[in-house]
Structure 1
Amino acid sequence: MRSFLTALQFLTRIHVVRQDNLTIEDFGRSVRCFPLVGLVLGVLSFLVGLCFVNFVGPSYLTAAVLVLLPIVLTGGIHCDGFMDAADGLFSGRERARMLEIMKDSRVGSFGAVAFGCSLLLDFALVLDLGQAPTILLIAVFLAPVLGRAAMVLAVACFPYARPEGLGKMFHDLAGRGAALSAIIVAAAVAAPWGAGALLVLVCALGGAWLFDRWAAGKLGGLTGDVYGATEKLTETLVLAAFWVLLHVPQAQMLLGGWHF
């Protein structure tokens, strides 16, 4: 329970209990609980989405709320990493300079443009998925779970690019078992929604893995900013994968018969 509460406090604005004496080991052990934090966020997004779908209907307002809600619940921690990673990775500089740019707390033009494009794409995908409200609700439920499972894979399976840093303590203490645990939790959460959800899981985690390999090749490893970018990118991939399933007639049979 301590590890879960540590992960919840670190990744979100939801602070159930006060934890003042956390150690490096506490943070390291909390990595395994990242997908469970995603499950909490997914349930909240599902419930808010259910209310808006039933009382407001699929609309621009519903789409905006569902896109902004995860940012409010997390304090935008992953968005910050996404922007910093974009500034560094797209700078076209050498490795050392990329890492220096990513460490700068200021947001550059690449980060601002990339984040704006990401928000616009998320909004469009959520708005389109509103044509099938049940699929929309499943998508916003699964996105944070798979996003944080992808983070665990990035933490556990790729080297850390810097000799020190906040992300390094996660990498050093997570262990390979954390990756297997994340996959099991993600599969267990996705499986009840049918074959389509499992296919989305494979596509989203596979896409995140390819992004991490590309980033690690440029940086000589990953950083905390790339972990955040991985989470943000994976959530978008989940929405995009459900959009494809919804709009490809041959794939619609995989979506199941859920109705809310």
Structure 2
Amino acid sequence: MTFRSDMISAAMLLTRLPVRGEPTAPAARAAWAWPLVGLVVGLAAGLAGVAGWALGATPAVAATLVIAVSVLLTGALHEDGLADTADGLWGGAEPARRLEIMRDSRIGSYGVIALILLLLLRWSLIATALIQGHVLFTVIAAAMVSRAAMAVLMRWQPHARADGLSHGTGRPPAHAVWIAVALAALALLPAGAHGLAAAALVAAALWALGRVARAKIGGQTGDLLGACQQISEVAVLVALTSA
């Protein structure tokens, strides 16, 4: 397929942007473009924070704007996946029950706690990046790398169920994953040692999440990919804002 169809596919899958055209099918074949979608989301969200900061908003308010724009553009797709993953992985006694819980639209205690903790972490780290003066770079890098991590996990782990969003999306081809990883590496390159630390943290988080998912539900789902994005984003933010 073409660059245009791959970008349409990636935007349709990962955002609520009103894109039109013929998408690549299955959508996983366009996984290489997921970091580029992250670039768009991160740029818009980061600029909202910069604008708020320039207009006199406090770091806390400006950081809230960053998260709000990101959520609006993605429809809270990844946050929803994080909550469902937390409920499922720790709310059921066996794989079938865990998958059933993850599919339930209702949110439980584990999901609420996971959402609160991750949102607080993102908010405080973005506020720190604003104070440090590099919020635009930090937010964009985190958005790009975290979406590349999704492609890696999707390629690495098998589908945990025979239906659902992840199964319908397919499995990314190896070349698409390598391109996504290369784009993520380019996003981190200007950060030097902090970029290497970010890559290491994301790799560790990805490995841990993949192992837990394989043990508890037999592989990955769309919800788990959303959790992967959220956890990876926080990992990058931690590394890029550390002293």
What is the TM-score when the length of structure 1 is the normalising length? 0.85
The one-letter code matched in structure 1 to 2:41 is L
1:129 is displaced (CA, Å) by 3.1
Could you tell me which residue of structure 1 aligns to residue 234 of structure 2? 236
The reply on whether 1:221 has 2:219 as its aligned counterpart is yes
1:36 and 2:36 correspond: yes
Q: Is residue 183 from structure 1 mapped to residue 181 from structure 2 by the alignment?
A: yes
Matches within 5 A, 1:63-212: 63-134=63-134, 136-172=135-171, 174-212=172-210
Q: Which amino acid aligns with 2:196?
A: L
* SS at structure 2 position matched to 1:159: coil
Structure 1 position 11 matched with structure 2 position 19: no
- What one-letter code is carried by the residue in structure 1 that aligns with 2:90? F
Q: Do the aligned partners of 2:10 and 2:27 also contact (CA within 8 Å) in 1?
A: yes
Opposite residue 5 of structure 2, the aligned amino acid is: R
Structure 2: runs of 5 or more not aligned: none
CA distance in 2, matches of 1:16, 1:168: 23
Tell me, in whole angstroms, the C-alpha distance in 2 between the residues paired with 1:119 and 1:46: 16
Aligned CA distance change for structure 1 residues 188 and 59 (closer, same or farther; 3 Å):
closer
**Structure 1 pair 160–3 and aligned structure 2 pair: CA distance change class (3 A):** same
Contact map agreement 1:58 1:133 (CA 8 A) in 2 = no
> May I ask how many residue pairs the two structures share in their alignment?
240
Shift of 1:26: 4.0
Q: Secondary structure at the match of 2:93?
A: coil
SS of 1:44's partner is: helix
Q: Distance in 2 between matches of 1:126 and 1:46?
A: 9
Asked whether the equivalents of residues 50 and 62 of structure 2 are also in contact (C-alpha less than 8 Å), the reply is no
After superposing on structure 2, the runs of 4+ consecutive aligned residues of structure 1 that deviate more than 4 Å are none
User: Which has the larger displacement, 153-162 or 136-145?
Assistant: 136-145
Asked if the contact 1:63/1:126 (under 8 Å) is kept, the reply is: yes
The aligned amino acid for 1:35 is P
> Is the 8 Å Cα contact of residues 161 and 221 (structure 2) preserved in structure 1?
yes
How far is the alpha carbon of 1:57 from its aligned partner? Answer: 5.2
Structure 1 unmatched ranges of 5 or more: 247-260
Compute the displacement of 1:115 (Å).
0.7
How far apart are the structure 2 equivalents of 1:211 and 1:28?
A: 20
Q: Deviations over 1:28-61 (max 9, x none)?
A: 3222211111111122223223222323255221
Residues 139 and 242 in structure 1, CA contact (< 8 A), matched pair in contact too: yes
